[in-house]
Chain A
Amino acid sequence: MIALCGIPTETPLEMVREQLARLSVPHVVFNQRKFSEWDIELEICNGRVAGSLEGEGRAWRLEDFRGVFLRLMDDRHLPEVQREPPGSSKRQYCRGLHDTLMRWCEVTPARVVNRIAPMGSNSSKSYQAQLILQQGFAVPETLITNDPDAVREFLREHGRLIYKSISGVRSIVKTLDDADLDRLRQIRWCPTQFQAYVEGADVRVHVVDKDVFATRIDTTATDYRYAHQQGNSPATLQAIDLADEAVNACVRLARGLGLVFAGIDLRIGPDNRVTCFEVNPCPAFSYYEGQTGQPIAEAVARYLAGKR
């Protein structure tokens, strides 16, 4: 049995569910928005995990699950609890249910895509960059500082800089321009991340266990995800084959971060030098699969079912 957790109409979840159905793999969808119709109980005894999941008039033993796919939204923001006062019994139940589900996912021997703890690495880009360096990838030359003079010197050294958040919040990449230089003194209050601009083509690599799907993205935007907002034409995507060395490095990187499923953002320079920007532990792969036809959802479904 496979558990799919999230909102059934969310595209990545639906795509994995379709593939499980196509492969005739038994599965159940835990619909967050109907949380009040679900219940979970977790028991741990001498390191063994047991318990039950109940919903839609049925019950499953937790020990019978072989795989779990997580695409949960923050349960505190579900529309069903938005009008509930803080501390209401409905809110508490919603939180308790999701929390217990998370606790189970941390300890179950089932295949979980992805477990919670390793998904945290990209909450600090400077932390994750060090893990990426340890796996042998190059990362952009980076300066995080509260010293405007250090930034000006870094700009002189590299010619063109971008800046972006260190955490996962407001994570939009922008080019440092004259207007930014005029307000640079504001970084005194909060160390800010600057990076040397890296020339080359953007490549998103989805790793599912040992399977690798590389997509080249052509765009004129600084951050292709926001090409339209940054006044550029929409990005175009194309499936490509990476060199074996790069394929192996991506698999090693995902594994090193403890991720079964990862979206790795690379830039490949004119000299074929590969630079890794970051690793997304919860990639919205449907955008890439929809544009290229790469069988990413099928790979996830097969992994969950133990078919690879």
Chain B
Amino acid sequence: MWLVVCHSTDPAALWAYEGLSQRALAPLVLVTSETLGCSRRWEHRLGRGGCIVDITLADGTRIESRQVRGTLNRIQWIPPEMLAVGVPEDQLYASQELYAFFMGWLYSLPSPLLNEPTPQGLSGRWRYPSEWQSLAGQAGLRTRPFRISARSHDAVNAAFVDTSVVHPGRRTVIVLAGEVVGDDVPPEVSAGCRHLAELAETLLLGVDFDVATDGAWVFAGAGVSPDLRWGGAAFLDKLASLFHRPGSALERS
């Protein structure tokens, strides 16, 4: 069994599910946050026997972690349906508990798990623009000087994470398990992207660039839940191949 775990409003994940379905991955189960929110039964065991998760969804589908051979994990927040009950004064507590629970059960899924949950994000470690800038510079990518202060931090951070602004010349490069998807990426940029993913200890990474008219690729940001459609069919082929590979358990960070 392979899983695509995502929000129903995530078009890139739904695209990946459709694409993987056509690549002989069966059974491939789409698990949306809404279906998780309505699950009948959860059981997560830890101890001498290792770590086992057994979930029964509302339609009776059972997900046993030991049957899972690979997961594309795009969950970013806990299903709001799970917070709809309870008294208001308990909701903050309940949300913390559920986030902690989700982090635990997602992490228990066998490798390959793209991406593993972390305390800074259920589908990989979210980082501030300052940290990405630092890592990108260390990875040898071309960056712009980055300045932030007590008075400017809001504006600087907002400018980096505002997805509503369309940037002409913006390009996203997908890195999957140490390989850059796409053959039109300059070799030095490709090497920098691979190094960045390594520094970020992330299997699936999107790296944004502003491509200038002179052909220079300047780092513009990175993220662990990129729009996978940038990778096209080549990305789906690589992901399916990774999921199919015998003993494809990738070493955990």
Q: Mark B22-42, 1 if CB is under 8 A from A, else 0.
A: 000000000000000000011
Q: In the complex, how many angstroms separate the beta carbon of A119 from the nearest chain B beta carbon?
A: 8
8 extra A-B contacts, CB within 8 A, seeds A43-B145, A139-B46: A45-B143, A123-B100, A124-B119, A126-B104, A130-B51, A130-B107, A141-B48, A168-B96
Task: Tell me the complex Cα distance, A123–B85, Å.
Answer: 23
CB distance from A240 to the nearest CB of B (A): 26
Which one of B148-156, B162-170, B209-217, B241-249 is at the interface?
Answer: B148-156
Q: B46–A142 contact, CB under 8 A?
A: yes
Q: Check if B8 is an interface residue, CB within 8 A of chain A.
A: no
Q: For residue A103, which residues in chain B have a CB less than 8 angstroms away from its CB?
A: 128, 130-131, 148, 153
CA distance A146 to B98 in the complex (A): 12
Q: Which one, B44, B119, B150, contacts A144 given CB within 8 A?
A: B44
| B145 / chain A contacts, CB cutoff of 8 Å | 43-45
What number of B residues sit within 8 Å (CB to CB) of A?
55
Q: For the complex, give the distance between the alpha carbons of A53 and B48 in Å.
A: 49
User: In the complex the two chains form, is A100's CB within 8 Å of B96's CB?
Assistant: no
B101 touches A124 (CB 8 A): yes
Does B50 sit at the interface, judged by CB under 8 A?
Answer: yes
Q: List B contacts of A96 (CB < 8 A).
A: 149-154
Considering the complex of A and B, which 8 residue pairs feature the smallest CB-CB distances, nearest first? A47-B137, A120-B119, A126-B104, A124-B100, A167-B100, A141-B47, A97-B150, A124-B103
A27 to B106, CA, bound (A): 42
User: Known: A99-B153, A150-B43, A191-B101. Contact between A117 and B119, CB under 8 A?
Assistant: yes
Chain A: residues with Cβ within 8 Å of the partner, total of 55
Cα(A167)–Cα(B44), bound, Å: 15
A285: Cβ under 8 A from any B Cβ: no
User: Within the assembled complex, what's the spacing in Å between the Cα atoms of A220 and B148?
Assistant: 51
B190 within 8 A of A: no
Interface SS of chain A: helix, strand, loop or mixed?
mixed
**Chain B residues within CB distance 8 Å of chain A:** 41-48, 50-51, 82, 85-86, 92-94, 96-101, 103-105, 107-108, 117-120, 125, 127-128, 130-131, 133-139, 143, 145-154, 252
The minimal Cβ–Cβ distance linking B25 to chain A, given in whole angstroms, is 26
| Complex partner residue of B154 from A92, A123, A139, A141, CB under 8 angstroms | A92
Among B93, B105, B107, B252, the residue within 8 A (CB) of A170 is B93
A63 vs B150: C-alpha distance when bound (angstroms): 18
Q: Which of B93, B105, B137 contacts A126 (CB 8 A)?
A: B105
Q: Give the nearest-CB partner of A109 in chain B.
A: B134
- CB of A197 closer than 8 Å to a CB of B: no
Q: Which residues of A contact B131 (CB under 8 A)?
A: 103, 106-107
12 pairs, A vs B, C-beta closer than 8 Å? A92-B154, A100-B149, A103-B128, A103-B131, A106-B127, A124-B104, A126-B100, A138-B48, A142-B44, A143-B44, A145-B43, A191-B42
Interface residue ranges of A135-182 to B (CB < 8 Å) = 138-147, 150, 165-170
Q: Which of A14-22, A34-42, A245-253, A263-271 contacts B (4 or more CB under 8 A)?
A: A34-42
B-chain residues with CB within 8 Å of residue A166 when the two chains form the complex: 97, 100-101, 104
Q: Which of B85, B98, B145, B153 has the most CB of A within 10 A?
A: B153
**Measured between alpha carbons, how far is A121 from B104 in the docked complex, in Å?**
10
A170 and B72 CA atoms in complex are apart in Å by 32
- Cβ-based interface call for A48 (8 A): yes
**Separation of A189 and B98 alpha carbons in the complex (Å):** 10
Contacting residue for A100 out of B41, B47, B103, B148, CB 8 A: B148
Bound complex: CA A179 to CA B51 (Å): 29
Given A100-B153, A117-B120, A127-B119, are A41 and B147 neighbors across the interface (CB < 8 Å)? yes
B134, A191: Cβ atoms closer than 8 Å: no
A117 in contact with B125 given A123-B100, A130-B107, A189-B86 (CB within 8 Å): yes
CB distance from A87 to the nearest CB of B (A): 11
Judge whether B137 and A42 touch: CB under 8 Å.
no
CB distance A169 to B96 under 8 Å?
Answer: yes
Q: Are B153 and A45 in contact (CB under 8 A)?
A: no
Residues of A within 8 A of B125 (CB): 117
Q: Per a CB cutoff under 8 Å, which of B43, B48, B86, B119 touches A143? A: B43
How far does the alpha carbon of A129 sit from the alpha carbon of B51 in the complex, in Å? 10
Chain B residues closer than 8 Å to A167, beta-carbon distance: 93, 96-97, 99-100
- Distance in angstroms from B127 CB to nearest chain A CB is 8
Tell me, yes or no, whether A73 is within 8 Å of chain B by CB: no
Taking the closest CB of chain A, its distance from the CB of B218, in whole angstroms, is 12
Alpha-carbon distance A166/B45, docked complex (angstroms): 13
A41: chain B residues at CB < 8 Å are 147-150
CB distance from A59 to the nearest CB of B (A): 13
Q: Which residue on A lies nearest to B148, using beta carbons? A: A42
Residues B130 and A44 in contact, CB atoms below 8 Å apart: yes
Instruction: Let me know if B143 and A144 touch, CB within 8 A.
Output: no
Q: Is the C-beta of A282 less than 8 angstroms from some C-beta in chain B?
A: no
Q: B156 to chain A: closest CB distance in Å?
A: 9
Contact status B130-A93, CB under 8 Å: no
Chain A residues closer than 8 Å to B101, beta-carbon distance: 124, 126, 144, 166, 191
A134 within 8 A of B: yes
Bound Cα distance A189, B117 (Å):
23
Known: A106-B128, A126-B101. A93 touches B107 (CB 8 A): no
